[in-house]
Amino acid sequence: MRAFIASSIGVTCAAVLALPLAVPAGAAPDTRTVPAESAGPVDVPGSTQSLPMWTLSAPSGRSTGDPTRAAAPEQGLPEREVHPFSLVGVVWDDANAELHGTVQVRTRATGTGAWSDWQDLETHNAEHSADPGTAERDSGTVRGSTAPLWVGDSDAVAVRVRPEAPDPQDRTGSVVPLPAGLRLELVDPGKDPQQLPATDTGTAVAAAGAVSAAGAQAATTADGRTAALSPSVLPALSKARSEAQGEAEAGLAPGAQPYIGPRPRIVTRKGWGADEKLRERKFVYTGKVKAAFIHHSATGNNYKCSQAPSVLRGIYRYHVKSSGWRDIGYNFAVDKCGNIYEGRAGGVTKAVLGAHTLGFNANSMGIAVLGTFTKSNPPAAAVNAVAKLTAWKLGLFGANPRGKVTLVSGGSNKYKKGKKAKLNVISGHRDGFATECPGARLYKKLGSARTSSAKLQGR
């Protein structure tokens, strides 16, 4: 995802010491030095601050009216200055533990000194992860996590995690504690890659067109890293050329009418500035791409389209360094202006195994629309981009966007492991898992996306 030169500016340090602006009465001051990532090469952009939380208030029986059944204590951090960051999330030790409660953050804008109101983080995020029993899930590095939130350039923060109060009507119910090892993750996505002079013809376009339809990751080094000369943008192709490339790769006879939509313009990982040293070196694939699961990133809508590469770098770093995944979870991302971005590494035409829809990552792809669409309508440009992307990518594998598909669950809260699920070829995340994702407003637009996608395939 890029047509740029990677920035040589990196933000690394051996340790981060976050100093509170104020400590509440009775709270022990935090004297711990918070480790950041170990120092790396100077060309590695971005950084992550990981701050352990402490108890902010003692439990009280007032929430239940019963002193013997007090809620678990609130945890968090008071207002404190930190190194600059733009994306925030909360993680904990056990990936299988649920956080029953609310997580809220306040941040201070760099330069203005203005503090935001308390903002909610989406706590139900376990459904965006690798399937149970896979090497990625069982790696020992995966942690529980909230969805990340994009807050823009900030230099101070406060966080509070409030546990769910016991039901006063249920005298037998036990108090559910907060997960162990709560930490606040502050992500600096680093600087944007430097854009090369814009050109419609010549060397840049020729270089991009020379890359095979196997995708951006075809141009890699021997160790699986993106090569310096790999393209920043894969240009849009006509339907005829997209079908010709698809036929060649699939070994189909000419004129087989594979119903492949025109390839849309795709910003590659290089284009959005992915630091390839963060992810695992090897690529992991699944059998085919039989379905597309649509998500919203739940990172909020307060970003400009020019900031989308930064948002992606923040999500990528949060997925890998904070959540312990092997790479960014989504196969593709779409911003609110309709720009399409390559996600998990392995080749944009390939069936890359993602970590986006718990139980249904096999034989599918995950597309995240950057933003939160529970109460906000998704822009038409974003919905149209989903249609264009699915028309092309599903077409490469012979899938009809208006069709149905039967997938075998790898285990979710909606379909037990091994159960067959008949789903739409273009489904929302909530179709495979009981979740709010992709937000009610985006979910309502999937019908029109299916129709448009099928038309683009020529069906």
Cα–Cα distance list, 220 to 41, 67, 456 (Å): 19, 62, 31
Higher pLDDT, 269 or 41: 269
* CA–CA gap between residue 346 and residue 214 (Å, rounded): 9
* CA–CA gap between residue 5 and residue 194 (Å, rounded): 5
Q: Of 11-25, 211-225, 310-324, 398-412, give the lowest mean pLDDT range.
A: 11-25
* CA–CA gap between residue 224 and residue 227 (Å, rounded): 9
Average pLDDT over residues 214-229: 49
pTM of the model: 0.83
Rounded to a whole number of angstroms, the distance between the first and last alpha carbons of the chain is 29
Q: Of 161-170, 180-189, 427-436, give the lowest mean pLDDT range.
A: 161-170
Segment 31-60, tens digit of pLDDT = 233 333 333 333 447 999 999 999 987 655
Q: Does 26 score more than 70 pLDDT? A: no
* CA–CA gap between residue 91 and residue 40 (Å, rounded): 23
Specify the pLDDT at position 38: 35
Is the four-CA dihedral 312, 314, 317, 321 of positive or negative sign? negative
| Cα 123–Cα 129–Cα 133 angle in degrees, nearest 5 | 130
3 state DSSP class of 452: helix
3 state DSSP class of 450: helix
Specify the pLDDT at position 434: 86
Locate the DSSP E strands across 289-352.
291-296, 332-334, 340-342
* CA–CA gap between residue 364 and residue 445 (Å, rounded): 20
Segment 121-149, tens digit of pLDDT = 998 767 777 887 888 988 889 999 999 99
Q: Does 208 score more than 50 pLDDT? A: no
Specify the pLDDT at position 228: 53
Segment 224-262, tens digit of pLDDT = 445 555 799 999 999 999 998 887 776 665 656 689 999
Q: Does 280 score more than 90 pLDDT? A: yes
Q: Of 122-136, 144-158, 356-370, 385-399, give the lowest mean pLDDT range.
A: 122-136
3 state DSSP class of 382: helix
Q: Does 3 score more than 50 pLDDT? A: no
Higher pLDDT, 10 or 18: 18
Average pLDDT over residues 168-188: 84
Q: How would you class 340 by CB atoms within 10 Å of its CB: exposed for 0-12, middle for 13-18, buried for 19 or more? A: buried
Average pLDDT in the chain: 82
Specify the pLDDT at position 257: 67
pLDDT grade for 192, boundaries at 50, 70 and 90: confident
3 state DSSP class of 103: strand
